[in-house]
Structures are given as C-alpha cells and as structure tokens.
Amino acid sequence: MKYEMKAMTNISSVVQFVLQGFSDLPNLQGLLFGVFFIIYMTVLIGNGLIVTITRFDPALQKPMYFFLANFSSLEICYVSVTLPRMLKNLWTQDRSISKVECATQMFFFITLGASECLFLTVMSYDRYVAICNPLHYPLVMNHKTCVQLAAGSWLGGIPLQLWQTCQIFSLHFCNFNEIKHFFCDILPVLKLACGSTFLNEISLYVAALLFVVVPFMLILASYSKIICTILRLPTATGRAKAFSTCSSHLMVVVLFFGSGSITYLKPKSTQSAGTDKLLSLFYTTVTPMFNPMIYSLRNKDVIAALRKIFLNK
C-alpha cells in the first residue's frame, strides 16, 4: 500500500485504504458476486419500473406517486454508491480504494441516506394530509409545494454531510489502513484515525439526531394522528382502504429506520465489525430491493399500471 512518509517522525500517513469486504469468506467470492449482482439488477429494474409508471401513467399523477417516483430514484442512487464498488472488489479481488475515492463514497452515501430519511418524513406528511384533512389535500399538496418538499429532501443533507466528511478526512490516519467494512462508512473509517475522534463522534450523533431521530419522531406523530383518524371512520371498508394507502410506507419506515438506528445510535462499546456489516447490508441493499415489491404488491393503482405495461390491459 502507498504511504506518505512524514519527516522527523515515525508516523506514516495513509493515502490509500483497503476495504475488508468479505475477504474473510475466500471460498464464497464468486457466489457473493452473483448474489449481489442479482440484488443490484433487481433494485435497478424494480425501482426503474416504479419511476417509469409513475411518470407516464395518467392514473398515477398524484402527489403520493410523485414522491414515490423520487424515492425510487433515490434508492437507485443510494445503492449505486456502494454496490458497484463492492462488485468490482469481488470480481477483481483488488480491494484498495484511494483516500479521495473513499471520501467521495462516504459523502454521497451519508447525503443520500439523509435524503432518504427526509423523503420518508415527507411521504408520511403527505399521507397525514390525505387522510386527516382530505378536503384541503389538493390545496395543501399542490404541485409547487410537492416540488419544494422534494427539492428540500434531495438537498437538505448536503451542507452538514459535506462538513462532516471534510472533518473526518482532515484527520490523520496512520499505520493501519484496512477498513473493516465493504464501503467507506463513518464508524469504520473513524476507527483508523490517530488521536481523539471525540468531536467527530459528537458531530455524527448530531447528524443522526437531525436526520434520523427527528424525522422518525415526526413520522410517528403523523401516523399516530393517521391511526386515530382511521379508527374513527364509520365503515370497515373505509378503514381498510385508508390503512392500505399508508401500510406500505410504514413497512419501509420500520425496515430502514430500524436497521439504521441500531447501526449509528448504539453504544460504541457494543459495536462489532461483523454485526455492522450485516446491518449495513440490510439497509443498503435488502431494503431498496424490497421497496418496489412492497409498494407494488400492496397498491392497486401500481398493480393496474404494471398490468398495462406487461399485459397490455
């Protein structure tokens, strides 16, 4: 590996990292490549279909599907930050990554992760207005408001995450350069830094508070009001229909926030590389893969649009 020697000291500054990935499973490299390739193609095709049908089907020109199309586009970008690099490492067995590439991957990963949290919050707000204030829904969720909410979700995390990435990679990394992960995530990279990382850990918890805890609390508040409103509906059919419009989103929220919160908010003393990799696989690959299935199988409008494409009905 390449090192930049510091004059007058015995310390070497790392300019290139090595991603451990799944090198501890040498006999499964080919199988893992095949599995992750299938997962990546599934994410691209599934979310790509959602984007296509919500863009061109007249029945899906509603705020809910506008946000769903943006969310599916975000999932494609989110997965593309990590999976192609992991596939390359598995195929070539060259697991090295430069400091600049590592910083770039981290920035896009945490920024898109923040955007995902914001989008899930916006989507819960959309369901709240639709169910709790249906008469005002067209006025409140007009096209301009939807575009502003989507733009805020895409761009809202950039300033803090850019600052956080710059702070992390301004640290001094020495001696050991193997990242015990399959991508450049914050916690595994911080473990390689020399000296104190206390301020970086504080900024990480602040970012987690702003982009994980606060959005999750807002989602809980929205759904508590949604559930109260649904339970007051006079007919069982009405309650079932109302639940069906938000159950898919709620499932995605639980999957994404559950695994992400365990990873970033658990005490440092309980962290292990193996557990972190497993949880990261869940919210970086498994959840984006199942999202199109969750939204399509539980949504009659989406199923009808898919039938038009594949069955010409």
Cα separation of 68 and 119, whole Å? 9
Does position 7 have pLDDT exceeding 50, yes or no? Answer: no
Q: In terms of residue numbers, what domain contains 99?
A: 3-310
What pLDDT does residue 264 have? 63
What pLDDT does residue 282 have? 81
The closest alpha carbon to 165, from 81, 103, 77, belongs to 103
Where are the strands (E) in the chain, listed by range? Answer: 3-5, 12-14, 16-19, 96-98, 178-179
Does position 1 have pLDDT exceeding 70, yes or no? Answer: no
Q: What is the mean pLDDT of residues 5-12?
A: 41
Q: What is the mean pLDDT of residues 227-245?
A: 79
As a whole-number percent, the residues of the chain with pLDDT over 70 amount to 89
Does position 222 have pLDDT exceeding 80, yes or no? Answer: yes
As a whole-number percent, the residues of the chain with pLDDT over 90 amount to 51
Q: Which helix (H) or strand (E) holds 54?
A: helix 29-56
> Radius of gyration over alpha carbons of the chain, in Å?
22
Q: Indicate which CATH number applies to the domain containing 89.
A: 1.20.1070.10
Does position 34 have pLDDT exceeding 90, yes or no? Answer: yes
What pLDDT does residue 263 have? 66
Helix/strand/coil for 173? strand
Does position 2 have pLDDT exceeding 50, yes or no? Answer: no
Q: What is the mean pLDDT of the chain?
A: 86
Question: pTM of this prediction?
Answer: 0.89
Distances (CA, A) of 54 to 165, 205, 265: 34, 36, 35
Cα separation of 101 and 112, whole Å? 16
Which alpha helices (DSSP H) does 141-211 contain, by range? 143-155, 158-169, 186-190, 198-208
Q: What is the mean pLDDT of residues 66-94?
A: 94
What pLDDT does residue 114 have? 94
Does position 12 have pLDDT exceeding 60, yes or no? Answer: no
Q: What is the pLDDT of residues 114-173, one digit of tens each?
A: 999 999 999 999 999 999 999 999 999 999 999 999 999 999 999 999 999 999 999 988
19 φ/ψ angles, rounded to the nearest 5 degrees: -85, 120
Give me the number of domains the chain comprises.
Answer: 1
The closest alpha carbon to 274, from 290, 286, 261, 263, belongs to 263
Q: What is the pLDDT of residues 272-297, one digit of tens each?
A: 667 778 778 888 888 888 888 887 76
Does position 9 have pLDDT exceeding 50, yes or no? Answer: no
pLDDT bucket at 238, cuts 50 / 70 / 90: confident
Q: What is the pLDDT of residues 159-215, one digit of tens each?
A: 999 999 999 999 988 768 899 899 999 989 998 988 888 899 899 889 988 998 899
